[in-house]
Structure 1
Amino acid sequence: MRLGIDIGGTKTAAVAMCADGRLSDQVRMPTGFGADAVVETALRTVERLTRVVGVAASAIGSIGIGIPGAVDGEAGRVAHAVNLGLEGLDLGPLLADRLGVAVRVENDVKAAALGAHHLLGADGPHPHSMAYLNLGTGLAAGIVLGGRLLRGARGVAGEIGHVPVDASGVQCACGQRGCLETVASGSAIARLWPTADPLPARELFAAAAAGHVQAVTARERFLTGVAAAVRLLVLTTDVDEVVIGGGLAALGEPLRAGVHRILNGWAADSAFLASLDLASRVRVIPLGFPAAAVGAALVGAQPWPKS
């Protein structure tokens, strides 16, 4: 039995995975803020999940943690996780000492990429290569090649949200101007479609479907940005599949159909893009699948070498 824990800004999700890769049980907990609270959240989550599964923590083979921020997987250290109030935390060693179980830590988007890759192989062979495009407040990607995470020399492989695409665009939080994240993310939708609705993306798509002219313009800007992210991932890594996940993946079929429409429109004007058949490579992750927690369980079970 191995555990995977996805520590998010407000909620922590965890899964227990059997040796054959099947998911056994899942739990959700609120996430605390600050270093001590994050550690306690992880400990409470392990205690609750082992109780649900019916085993002692000492019987767990491994534990993996997916968490936002800059992560040094080898050291188990997390830095710059602003939404969690972390500027530096040796999370892996601290938890391993408290639990007596091997603990590995990975960036949450990269962990989710492994989880999505695992899902794609549930009913057949795993694709040789896959990119996980995370559409949340920001935009980032995780890339799996030959069953291994592509991390890069400094762990930033897949940070395509900070690739500038419009020199005259708005300033990004990273300090650059016109980054992809500024047009294809939850924060981009909030800027393009200001609203008090707690689910602005859903409201935007509903208003666009009803024919609201400004909503249609904002929706098309967003969808074009997502399609551009897919194109960028394929042109740089030529992955077999691009799986869209993150909070905005809850848009479901309207998101998938819209991105396919944009990609097919580009293909109609470009024989080169037509030859790549971009639209056929894109899917949206099923609603409710705990990709980051599943990926964390896999990270915990097998230390992925840097590549």
Structure 2
Amino acid sequence: MDAVRPALAGTRSVGLDIGGTKTHGVVLGEDGEILAQARKSTRSGAEGVVGSAARVFEALAKEIGEPLICRVGVGVPGLVDTERGTLRHAVNLGVNGDDLPLRDLLAIRLGVPVVVENDVNVAALAARALVEADDVVYLSVGTGLAAGLVIDGRLRRGEHGAAGEIGHLPIDPAGAECGCGQVGCLETIASGRALARAWPTPDGPPAADLFAAAADGDVKAIAVRDRFCWGVACAIRALGLTIDPERIVLGGGVSEVGEPLRVEVVRQLRSLGEGSPFLDSLGLADRLSMVPQHYPLATVGAAILGRD
């Protein structure tokens, strides 16, 4: 990752990405190099989440060989009130009901200042650093579908924290019911959850299996792959037409497929532009790039958040 380090340069910082199954942490050096990493299983509920973060923080300090005396950035799924440092509607973490004062709970447990942000938003900060642009959309294709928006170098959260919830844009009136209560949302077509329903596999992530089968000429796999990539392309089109960003970065768990995913999404974007000189002139496919495989984007973004 030497090529991206200048864009990540700054003081040493710590980032924690708290997910439903694991909590991952990094120590980011002044030059943007990852100095240490640690990963632990995430325990459910308020105490479980705080305890999991503390175990990762302690493991990072042990690996570095000295106390970590710096502000810690934390990325977490759910609705985050960044001013108050609270979290709600983080179902995968077992956090429901009243706002959880996560920032303050973590600061007490870790003994250092903490700043909390939505996980897709912190990933967008790292995406901005990777591509070195001030207008960036990060599209995360994971279990769900969501976008982080950086406009003029600043995160755009929206009035209710819903900016970038592209997965809940209805696109198919005859489609499946979405968990949000609407019908035919993009998330029912272009997400890891949707892919698992359309291409179930007994072992491992379905995306890799699907793309391999499609490459081998499996007709059903090709159809499932094409519809999935069409959905991703439609999300990019919507973001391009509303935000018109300088760069669009594709990431999330499904993006671990790598270059085959980018190639197919680009093909679908060009197909969408075939009947519209206007859409074609926007060059959305040319603005698209992928997060490097296995790069801990959200965790690095959390570290950037802590540093800033």
Q: TM-score range by the shorter chain?
A: over 0.9
**Amino acid in structure 2 at the alignment position of 1:115:** A
1:4 aligned to 12, 15, 21, which one?
A: 15
Q: Name the counterpart of 2:215.
A: 209
**Amino acid in structure 1 at the alignment position of 2:86:** R
1:74 paired to 2:83 = yes
CA shift digits 1:165-208 (9 cap, x unpaired): 11111100011000010100011112222332322111111111
**Amino acid in structure 1 at the alignment position of 2:21:** T
Per mean C-alpha deviation after superposition, the further-off stretch among 45-54 and 247-256 is 45-54
Conservation of the 8 A alpha-carbon contact between 1:197 and 1:203:
no
1:289 paired to 2:295 = yes
Conservation of the 8 A alpha-carbon contact between 1:242 and 1:281:
yes
**Amino acid in structure 1 at the alignment position of 2:126:** G
**Amino acid in structure 2 at the alignment position of 1:75:** R
TM-score (norm 2): 0.92
Q: Name the counterpart of 2:206.
A: 200
Taking the aligned partners of 1:19 and 1:208, their CA distance within structure 2 comes to: 43
- Unaligned stretches of 5+ residues in structure 1: 121-125, 303-307
**Amino acid in structure 2 at the alignment position of 1:64:** G
Taking the aligned partners of 1:278 and 1:199, their CA distance within structure 2 comes to: 28
2:127 aligned to 116, 119, 122, which one?
A: 116
1:97 paired to 2:108 = yes
Displacement of 1:20 after TM fit? 4.2
Taking the aligned partners of 1:5 and 1:276, their CA distance within structure 2 comes to: 36
Displacement of 1:117 after TM fit? 1.3
Taking the aligned partners of 1:293 and 1:262, their CA distance within structure 2 comes to: 30
Conservation of the 8 A alpha-carbon contact between 2:148 and 2:164:
yes
Displacement of 1:284 after TM fit? 1.2
1:56 paired to 2:62 = no
Displacement of 1:237 after TM fit? 0.3
Q: Name the counterpart of 2:282.
A: 276
**Amino acid in structure 2 at the alignment position of 1:202:** A
Q: Name the counterpart of 2:95.
A: 86
Displacement of 1:255 after TM fit? 0.3
Q: Name the counterpart of 2:41.
A: 30
1:241 aligned to 233, 247, 252, which one?
A: 247
Per mean C-alpha deviation after superposition, the further-off stretch among 259-268 and 179-188 is 259-268
TM-score (norm 1): 0.93
Q: Name the counterpart of 2:7.
A: none
> What is the root-mean-square deviation in Å for CA atoms of aligned residues?
1.3
Q: 1:99 to 1:199 in 2, by over 3 A?
A: closer
Taking the aligned partners of 1:4 and 1:261, their CA distance within structure 2 comes to: 35
Per mean C-alpha deviation after superposition, the further-off stretch among 133-142 and 187-196 is 187-196
Taking the aligned partners of 2:237 and 2:258, their CA distance within structure 1 comes to: 20
Displacement of 1:70 after TM fit? 1.0
Taking the aligned partners of 1:297 and 1:194, their CA distance within structure 2 comes to: 35
Taking the aligned partners of 1:32 and 1:94, their CA distance within structure 2 comes to: 15
Q: Name the counterpart of 1:266.
A: 272
Conservation of the 8 A alpha-carbon contact between 2:144 and 2:187:
yes
Where 2:260 maps in the other structure, the secondary structure is helix
Where 2:149 maps in the other structure, the secondary structure is strand
Per mean C-alpha deviation after superposition, the further-off stretch among 76-85 and 194-203 is 194-203
Aligned residues: 295
CA shift digits 1:96-143 (9 cap, x unpaired): 1233311011111111111111222xxxxx212111100011100001
**Amino acid in structure 1 at the alignment position of 2:275:** D
Where 2:172 maps in the other structure, the secondary structure is coil
Q: Name the counterpart of 1:221.
A: 227
**Amino acid in structure 2 at the alignment position of 1:101:** V
**Amino acid in structure 2 at the alignment position of 1:22:** E
Conservation of the 8 A alpha-carbon contact between 1:7 and 1:66:
yes
Taking the aligned partners of 1:73 and 1:46, their CA distance within structure 2 comes to: 21
**Amino acid in structure 1 at the alignment position of 2:277:** A
Q: Deviating runs (4+, > 4 A) in structure 1?
A: none
**Amino acid in structure 1 at the alignment position of 2:161:** G
Taking the aligned partners of 2:109 and 2:203, their CA distance within structure 1 comes to: 42
**Amino acid in structure 2 at the alignment position of 1:66:** G
Where 2:274 maps in the other structure, the secondary structure is helix
